[in-house]
Structure 1
Amino acid sequence: MEINFLVLLVAATSTLVVGFIWYNPKVFGSIWMRESGMTEEKMKGTNMALIFGMSIFYALLISLVLQMLTIHQWGAVSMVGGDPSIAKPSYDAFMTDYGTNFRTFKHGAFHGLLTGIFMAIPIIGTTALYERRSWKYVLISGGYWVVSFMLMGGIICAWS
């Protein structure tokens, strides 16, 4: 299996689209600003190109991992050390039988949902405990990542 970096970049960029909607003041933006201690004054003078660029870079790293979590066939590739050319005939038989199974947007979104619930929310929740953030903050930030992971997982699983 080849890594399709274009698909991963599209999935990574989707996090910005979700963020523009999610953190809009008419959705959760005003509540998030209050709960995170962010103000309009703090936001002024920031290098938004750098922030958006680094956000896409970090989301690209996440998409590399989500690819392995959403596409089951990567497990078969890892079983042969990442090099299918040295695999036994059973690998080829497996990939012939199951090579495109569960490669849908819905399946990827489901794995994105699980990853968001069981990875993103606990990470954000733990950090929030030490930073003395509210549960509203955890739910807004965690909810953003759950939705983002669902969209990313769906894109990756369906288009890779």
Structure 2
Amino acid sequence: MDFSLVNWLAVIVAALSAFVVGGIWYSSVLFGNAWMIDSNLTQEQIKQGNKAKAFGFTALFSLIMAANLAMFLADAKTDTSWGATAGFLAGIWTFAAIAIHSLFELKCWRYIFINGGYSLISLTLMGAILGAWR
């Protein structure tokens, strides 16, 4: 792996894209209400949560995910198409992991598809960003 082929600014932008996707995905316009029901959470409980901790760790883990994906894509032949494909394939891994954990937690399939779908979409976008921004 050639670390000089990793665009670290693209890694940061790719990590930030997970926030944008998450903000839309988990909004009340899309899946936020269904996710709250399936998570057995209320608006009051969410408001009481530690937002600094949640967003801080989300930023850290999104950065780790984007950097990890960038390492796999650190090849001169990588382009937008391959980046998106690799991100999608990584999303399948995470979708499967989410499904396994959720099934043992007795979560419903809607919950699995909401969380797994977010992972699939956000990693595909991360890969596309990393592949395009060489």
Say yes or no: TM over 0.5: yes
Displacement of 1:146: 0.3
Runs (4 or more) in structure 1 with deviation over 3 Å come to none
CA distance in 1 between counterparts of 2:30 and 2:100 reads: 24
From 84, 93, 112, the counterpart of 1:138:
112
Displacement of 1:105: 1.9
Structure 1 unaligned blocks of 5 or more: 74-98
Number of aligned residues: 131
Please give the residue correspondences for 1:26-105 in structure 2 after superposition, counting only pairs within 5 Å.
Answer: 26-71=29-74, 73=75, 99=76, 101=77, 103-105=78-80
Normalised by the size of structure 2, how large is the TM-score? 0.90
CA RMSD of aligned residues (A): 1.4
Displacement of 1:26: 1.4
CA distance in 2 between counterparts of 1:4 and 1:113 reads: 20
Structure 2 unaligned blocks of 5 or more: none
Structure 2 residue aligned with 1:25:
28
CA distance in 2 between counterparts of 1:67 and 1:130 reads: 31
Which protein has the larger Cα radius of gyration, Structure 1 or Structure 2? 1
CA distance in 2 between counterparts of 1:12 and 1:29 reads: 21
Structure 2 residue aligned with 1:82:
none
Displacement of 1:9: 1.1
CA contact (8 A) 1:70 1:112 kept: no
Displacement of 1:55: 0.5
Displacement of 1:157: 1.5
CA contact (8 A) 1:14 1:151 kept: yes
Structure 2 residue aligned with 1:125:
99
